[in-house]
């Protein structure tokens, strides 16, 4: 297990889980978006702290002007493709961590990796994220 994963696991256990529990307890019905926005800002800071620059080939394909698909290790001599649908409960996107994980996954499997940057809830309710992944 890499040091980054150990730090992420420890941070999640000690900081993220209690933060989410406290935020959920403070959420005022009808104002859930403020809690989600606060969580997203915090996760972006964590992402910048824990990730490093990517060394693999990354190309972006856009749909209607929005970056939608990231190809990691997209080289013609690679025959396998892995479809990676990131976690985050359909409300959070942590691009640095996902790219770093996809880079390692692709290298270990000798495969290109397709990351789908699907639309997030609650701005785009179900089934928007599922439709983006199909």
Residues 7, 20, single domain; the answer is: yes
CA separation for the pair 39, 16 (Å, rounded): 9
pLDDT value of position 76: 83
Other Cβ atoms closer than 10 A to 127: 10
Phi-psi map region of 25: left, alpha, beta (phi>0 left; psi -120 to 50 alpha): alpha
User: Which residue ranges in the chain fall short of pLDDT 70?
Assistant: 16, 19-33, 51-68, 88-90
For residue 37, give its domain range: 1-50
End residue of a domain, out of 34, 50, 66: 50
Count of the separate structural domains present in the chain: 2
- Do 42 and 62 share a domain, yes or no? no
Record the pTM: 0.60
111 shares a domain with 82? yes
- Please tell me whether residues 134 and 93 are part of one structural domain: yes
* pLDDT on residue 134: 77
- Residues 71, 105, single domain; the answer is yes
Please give the pLDDT value at position 80.
92
Q: Burial-class residue 112 by CB neighbours within 10 Å (0-12, 13-18, 19+).
A: buried
Are 65 and 1 found together in one domain? Answer: no
Residues 36 and 59 in one domain: no
């Amino acid at each position: 297990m890499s040091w980054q994963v150990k730090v992420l696991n420890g941070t999640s256990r000690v900081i993220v889980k209690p933060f989410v529990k406290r935020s959920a307890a403070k959420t005022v019905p009808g104002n859930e978006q403020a809690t989600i926005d606060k969580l997203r800002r915090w996760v972006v800071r964590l992402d910048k702290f824990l990730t490093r620059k990517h060394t693999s080939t990354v190309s972006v394909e856009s749909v209607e002007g929005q970056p939608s698909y990231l190809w990691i290790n997209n080289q013609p001599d690679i025959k396998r493709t892995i479809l990676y649908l990131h976690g985050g409960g359909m409300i959070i996107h942590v691009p640095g961590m996902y790219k770093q994980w996809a880079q390692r996954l692709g290298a270990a499997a000798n495969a290109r990796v397709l990351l789908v940057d699907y639309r997030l809830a609650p701005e785009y309710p179900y089934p928007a994220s599922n439709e983006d992944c199909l």
